[in-house]
Amino acid sequence: MEEEKSLLRRIFGDSSDSEDKSEDKEDSIDDVGCQFTSHPNCPTWEPVNEIKGLWLCRDFLSPHQQSTLLSAIQNEGWFLEAPNNQAMRFGDLPSWAIELSNSIREVILYGDRIHEPPNCAGSDRGEAACWLPPDLLSREPFFDQLIANVYQPGEGICAHVDLMRFEDGIAIVSLESSCVMHFTQVGEVSGSGKEQPDLPMIKIPVFLIPGSLVLLFGDARYLWKHEINRKPGFQMWEGQEVNQKRRTSITLRKLCHAE
For residue range 116-142, list pLDDT tens digits in order: 444 444 444 434 446 788 889 999 999
Per the CB < 8 A criterion, the answer to whether 156 and 230 are in contact is yes
Q: What local confidence, expressed as pLDDT, does residue 19 receive?
A: 37
pLDDT one-digit tens code per residue, 166-200: 999 999 999 999 999 999 999 754 344 455 555 56
Q: What mean pLDDT is predicted for residues 133-154?
A: 93
Q: What mean pLDDT is predicted for residues 6-14?
A: 50
The C-alpha atoms of residue 254 and residue 92 are separated, in whole angstroms, by 12
Does residue 182 lie in a domain region? yes
Does residue 135 lie in a domain region? yes
The C-alpha atoms of residue 215 and residue 218 are separated, in whole angstroms, by 10
Question: Which residues on neighbouring strands pair with residue 252, listed in sequence order?
Answer: 146, 171
pTM, two decimals, is 0.79
Does residue 26 lie in a domain region? no
Give the residue among 259, 175, 158, 184 at the shortest CA–CA distance from 214.
175
Q: What local confidence, expressed as pLDDT, does residue 33 receive?
A: 38
Quick check: 114 pLDDT over 70? no
Percent of the chain as helix, strand, coil, to the nearest 5: 25, 25, 45
Does residue 139 lie in a domain region? yes
Q: What local confidence, expressed as pLDDT, does residue 220 receive?
A: 96
Domain range for 60: 43-111+131-187+201-258
- Report which of residues 257 and 103 the model is more confident about: 103
Structurally, the chain folds into a number of domains equal to 1
Q: What is the chain's alpha carbon radius of gyration, rounded to the nearest angstrom?
A: 19
Does residue 243 lie in a domain region? yes
Does residue 221 lie in a domain region? yes
CATH of residue 161: 2.60.120.590
The C-alpha atoms of residue 171 and residue 115 are separated, in whole angstroms, by 20
Does residue 69 lie in a domain region? yes
Q: Which residues of 64-93 are buried (b: 16+ CB within 10 A; e: fewer)?
A: ebbbbbeebbeeeebbeeeeeeebeeeeeb
CA dihedral for 111, 115, 121, 122, sign (positive or negative) = positive
Does residue 82 lie in a domain region? yes
